[in-house]
Amino acid sequence: MDVYDELLAAALFIIFSTFILWLFRKLLAVRKRKTINDTSSKSGHYWSPIDCSEQHNYCSGCKEHIVSGYECDNCLLKVDNINCLRSISTKIQCKVNQSQCRRETFDHHWIIGNIGPDLFCEVCEELCGGGVGLQDFRCSWCWRVVHTRCKPKFTHRCDFGRLQRTIIPPYCVVTRKPGNRNQRMAVIDKVEIPTDTDKWRPIMVIVNPKSGSGAGKQLLRNFRAHLHPAQVVDVLKSNIAASLRWIDEHPEVDVRILIAGGDGTICSTLDQIDTLSRRIPVAVLPLGTGNDLSRWLKWGKKCGGDVDVIKLMEDIQDAEVTHVDRWTIDAESQKKLGVRLQSNKTLSMTNYVSIGVDACVTLGMQNTRESIPRAMSSRFLNKFLFFTFGTKDVFERVCKGLNERIDLYLDDVHINLPDIEGLIFLNIPYWGAGVKPWSTYNGSHRQDCDDETIEVFAVTSSFHIAQMQIGLASPLCIGQAKHAKLVLKGNHSFPMQSDGEAWVQSAGTVLISHKCKTAMLRKVEKRNTGCGMFF
């Protein structure tokens, strides 16, 4: 073995050892977090590890500066080590501890110190926080802050502030732990309408913490800190159906739902919401790559974890209800010698379903992304992968001659297709991360999202898609239909995608039919008046 082989072997050994140590630390951290939350269950705290090396935060137990420690997701109480955590859990109850909540005497839940910048005292209207050590107070329900010297002058009773219409008060809810071993978080069992709040309309929040390159995890904690934690559903630790079951059991409660995640999370959650006995209006928060549904509903093209939760809840309360068609995709594979080549697939679609070049690019990106460690994933990486596989297809043209391998029927009428490489069935105005493909034909063939009609257009190549994204080309209009059928011929495999989730479909038949109408929430744009319109 020469010196180069020895260096290579040493480098590989170092890399392998580092990976094993990193994996061991991760597993140890998960086990430690489960242990500390089991020991703190009586106080109601739910602790998460934090890094405060660049922030001026102080431990609520020993009052020392925190470099790394733990923070309660619900009330934002901070400690710097396990000993302080166990000590403080016996002294300070979490805001969700129902044994301490009474309607008649519901006071502020004050947490001392660690107050963010630019917050003003409710009594003297001067800046709070700052300085060294723990000082001044913040209520973990209404988020009002007061100076230590002003606290005796402030009212004792908490009215939940600007979140009054949105929060489920702890004295109006009973939670339970489901028997399902995969359900690790408490869910709402019973709800009572508060008599001291006008136009009360709680908002349930469903979050995928893996979405948004870490933004989903930060959003999850942000929502728990502002709302009742039982209102916030983690799709990785909670069963969505069990978390929403109380809505059917309490038809007298007017409720709205917010979904924070990518297209896959939104589609699977809408499937659960559609099983409810009444149509619940749904808002979406964009944590994916394309976020076309969010663009159309005016909630933005992307979102970070530091969103202003209070402002967002007010916007959802004021949002207007609109209806969106949802479609059923039935993909049936053909049989050979009595054996089906591929299991049949049935799924729901809200945005669009396609076959051909754009699905091929999405499939390549999806397979590559799944092979990359979660810690390295990001929106930028997803867009880079889209660009890479799109450029690759410009030269390879895998889907060339797609029109010769498929038959299209719109409302049972056979359609002769031109020379194309991709066929898209569109339900909403946006497609491909912000492109409005049907705007060219809206005058002669109006597009509505609740008319039980789907729009069909085609693209000639991945280069054609790139031209559409920068406004230099228009799609090929194929038509509109109430239902559609695709016949996939020959021994070919066809890349397909529905709402960003791609797969390979063998020869057979694909049916697209109307499923239902879902109530969605469109953000109302508020106009500035007075001097505000000039600044």
pLDDT for res 318: 92
Helix axes 82-91, 3-39, angle to 10 degrees: 20
The band of 380, judged by pLDDT with boundaries at 50, 70 and 90, is low
pLDDT for res 255: 93
pLDDT for res 482: 92
- How far apart CA 174 and CA 348 sit, in angstroms, is 33
Identify the bridge partners of residue 513 per DSSP, sorted by sequence position.
328
- How far apart CA 309 and CA 523 sit, in angstroms, is 15
- How far apart CA 379 and CA 305 sit, in angstroms, is 14
Query: Taking a C-beta distance cutoff of 8 angstroms, is the pair 117, 182 a contact?
Result: no
523, with CB counted inside 10 A (0-12, 13-18, 19+), is middle
* Residue 173 pLDDT > 80: yes
- How far apart CA 323 and CA 297 sit, in angstroms, is 11
Q: Average pLDDT in the 374-391 region?
A: 59
The residue type of 204 is: M
Query: Taking a C-beta distance cutoff of 8 angstroms, is the pair 260, 234 a contact?
Result: no
Q: What does pTM read for this prediction? A: 0.83
Number of H helices, E strands in the chain: 11, 24
The number of C-alpha atoms within 13 Å of 68 and in the hemisphere containing its C-beta is 2
* Residue 265 pLDDT > 90: no
The band of 513, judged by pLDDT with boundaries at 50, 70 and 90, is very high
List the beta strands (DSSP E) in 421-483. 422-426, 454-459, 476-481
325: phi then psi, degrees, rounded to nearest 5: -70, 145
What are the pLDDT digits (tens) for 281-330? 999 998 877 788 888 999 988 777 778 899 999 999 999 999 999 999 99
131: phi then psi, degrees, rounded to nearest 5: 75, -165
Q: Is 484 helix (H, G, I), strand (E, B) or coil?
A: strand
pLDDT for res 535: 36
Q: Average pLDDT in the 130-146 region?
A: 87
Question: Which residues does 251 contact at the CB level (< 8 Å), separation at least 6?
Answer: 277, 278
* Residue 24 pLDDT > 70: no
The band of 34, judged by pLDDT with boundaries at 50, 70 and 90, is low
- How far apart CA 510 and CA 353 sit, in angstroms, is 11
The band of 441, judged by pLDDT with boundaries at 50, 70 and 90, is confident
* Residue 534 pLDDT > 50: no
Q: What is the DSSP string of 439-496?
A: GGGTTTS---TTSS-EEEEEES-HHHHHHHHTTS--PEEEEEESSEEEEEEEEEEEEE
pLDDT for res 531: 43
169-183, 279-293, 366-380: range with lowest mean pLDDT? 366-380
Question: Which residues does 397 contact at the CB level (< 8 Å), separation at least 6?
Answer: 421, 461
* Residue 521 pLDDT > 90: yes
List the beta strands (DSSP E) in 313-388. 320-333, 335-336, 339-340, 345-349, 352-356
Residue holding tokens 């947490």?
A: 111
The band of 98, judged by pLDDT with boundaries at 50, 70 and 90, is low
Spatial CA neighbour of 241 closest among 178, 190, 288, 321: 178
* Residue 339 pLDDT > 80: no
Residue holding tokens 């260096």?
A: 7
Question: How many other CB atoms are found less than 10 A from the CB of residue 116?
Answer: 12
- How far apart CA 452 and CA 284 sit, in angstroms, is 22
The number of C-alpha atoms within 13 Å of 408 and in the hemisphere containing its C-beta is 22
140: phi then psi, degrees, rounded to nearest 5: -80, 0
Identify the bridge partners of residue 504 per DSSP, sorted by sequence position.
495
Where is pLDDT greater, at 469 or 374? 469
Spatial CA neighbour of 499 closest among 261, 267, 213: 267
Q: Average pLDDT in the 377-388 region?
A: 60
Average per-residue pLDDT for the chain: 82
52-56, 172-176, 255-259, 480-484: range with lowest mean pLDDT? 52-56
pLDDT for res 203: 94
pLDDT for res 373: 54
- How far apart CA 92 and CA 45 sit, in angstroms, is 9
Query: Taking a C-beta distance cutoff of 8 angstroms, is the pair 128, 163 a contact?
Result: no
Residue holding tokens 């490489």?
A: 421
